[in-house]
Structure 1
Amino acid sequence: MSLTFRLADATLIARPSGALFWPDQGVLCVSDLHLGKSERMARRAGTLLPPYETRETLARLEAEVEATGARRVICLGDSFDDAASLDGLEEGDRLWLTRMIAGRDWIWIAGNHDAGPLEIAGSHRAEVHLAGLVFRHIAQTGAQGEVSGHYHPKARLAGKVWRCFLADRQRLILPAFGTYTGGLWSHDPALSGLMQPDALAILAGGAVARAIPMPR
C-alpha cells in the first residue's frame, strides 16, 4: 500500500492517504489540513459548503496516527484555514483534536494561512530540523533534505486527477491532506522549477501509493 523511499539519509514512507511516515523517528507528517475552511468561506464570502470537512479530515488524520503509532506529529502549515478558524471549530471537533494531541509531541509549523500563534496544545514553530531533515511550510531554493507543503501538488494519470508527493534527491513536497483543498499541477512552473529533472510524483488518494515520473 505504502511506498518507501530515501531522502538524504532518511528512509521515509509515503502513505496512500497523503501522509508521510518516518519510522526511525516515529514521526508522522501531514500538510495543509485547512481545518475550518467551510466556516471561513461562510464568514468571509457567504459561500456555504457542507460543514463536514473538518470531521472528515480529523478522521483520516486519527486513522494515520493509530496505524503508524506515531510518537511525534508534524503539521507543515496551513493547518487552519485562517487565524480565526480555530475559534470557529465546533466544540466536539476541537476536543477530538485535543485528544489526538495528548501524549504526543505535536508540532504546528506556521503557514501562510495560519502564521500567527494559535491557542491550542502542541508547540508552534517556524520550521523544524530533525536528524538531517528540515520541515517547513514553503520550499526554499537550494535546500537540502527539505520536507515542505504549501503547493498542494496534483498530477493526472489515465484521465484521473491524483494528489501527489513530489520527490527528488534534495526535497519532498507533500500533498494537501485536508478535504476541501484544491491543487497545483505538477507541470506548473512553480513546481517544475523547484524539482530536479528526475523527480518522481508519488500518487496518493487511492489504495496504493505509486510512483511515476513527475509530469512536466
Structure 2
Amino acid sequence: MTGLEIPFRGETLRALGSGALHWAARDLLIVSDLHLGKSERTARRRGTMLPPYETRATLERLAADLDASGAGAVLCLGDSFDDLDAARGLDGQDRDHLLSLIEGRGWHWVEGNHDPGPADLPGEHHAELTLGPLTFRHIAEQGAVGELSGHYHPKLGLPGCGGTRPCLLFDTDRMILPAYGAYTGGMPATAPELRALIGQPAFAVLTGTKPLLVPYPARAAGRGRRRF
C-alpha cells in the first residue's frame, strides 16, 4: 500500500493518496467529509442538477482503501452525509454498498455540522472520540493537542502542478484532513481560518496517485474564501 508515514504524537499514521489516513496500530482507516448524497441535496435545495454519481465514486474509493489497507475499523470525521435527508434518501444500490463496507467492521461516525444526528445506519455515533493520545472531532479547536479534524476541505496548489489538490495539513499538535468525497469544494490552505489553526513548522500532503509532502507555506499568498 502506497502512502507517506507521518509520526504524530508518538503514533505513526500513513497518509494515503486518496486523502484517508491509516492508523495501523489501531487497525483503523480515517476519512473525513464524505458528503454522501451531495448531488441529491443540491438538486433538492437549489434546483441545480449534478451528475448523480458522487456517492458511488466516493464509496468505490473507500472500498479500494479498505481492500488495500485491510483495516478492520473505519472512523468518519463528520459530514459523512450532505444532510440527514441525504442519508435517509441514499439510492438503494449505494446504501447496499455502504452496508457491505460496514458489515464485519467497527464503524465510528463522528458528528459534523452537516449531519448533526445519527443516521439510520449501523455503527457507533460520537460527538467526538479519543483513542490513546489522539482526539477526533469534526471542527478543530484552538489549543487542542493530538487533534484530528476535517471540515475545512483544505486545498493547495504548487507551481507546475496544474491547479490545486486536496491536502492534509499537519503541525506538531493537529492534523486537518482533506475532504474525501467527490464533488466537494475546498478552502485554500493559506486562508486565514487555517492560518489561525496551523502552527510552524507545518506540512501539507497533497493527494493524488503519489501523495506529495511539501512544507506548509510560512506566509499567505492571499486571502481565501470558504467554498464548500
Please indicate the TM-score interval, normalised by the length of the shorter structure.
over 0.9
Q: 1:146, CA displacement in angstroms? A: 0.5
Matched residue, 1:178: 181
- 1:120 corresponds in structure 2 to 121
Counterpart residue type for residue 200 of structure 1: F
Which residue does the alignment assign to 1:20? 21
Report the equivalent of 1:160: 163
Residues 61-210 of structure 1 mapped to structure 2, 5 A cutoff: 61-158=62-159, 159-204=162-207, 206-210=208-212
Deviations 1:110-146, CA, capped at 9 Å, x for gaps: 0000001211111111111101100110001111110
Cα RMSD (Å): 0.8
Write the distance in 2 (CA, Å) between the matches of 1:109 and 1:90: 22
Deviations 1:17-49 (A, max 9, x none): 100000111110000000000000111111000
Letter in 1 for 2:38: K
Aligned equivalents of 1:104 and 1:178: distance in 2?
20
Give a deviation string over 1:158-189, Cα, whole Å, max 9, x none: 24211100011000000000001001001101
- Aligned mates of 2:118, 2:75 — CA distance in 1: 16
Question: What is the TM-score normalised by the length of structure 1?
Answer: 0.98
CA contact (8 A) 2:88 2:119 kept: no
1:58 and 2:59 correspond = yes
What SS does the corresponding residue of 2:84 show, helix, strand or coil? coil
- Give the aligned length: 215
Q: Distance in 1 between matches of 2:98 and 2:183?
A: 18
Higher relative contact order (CA 8 A, sep 6+): 1
* Aligned residues with identical type, % of pairs: 52
> Within 2, Cα distance between the matches of 1:210 and 1:161?
12
Gaps of 5+ in 2: 221-228
CA contact (8 A) 2:155 2:165 kept: yes
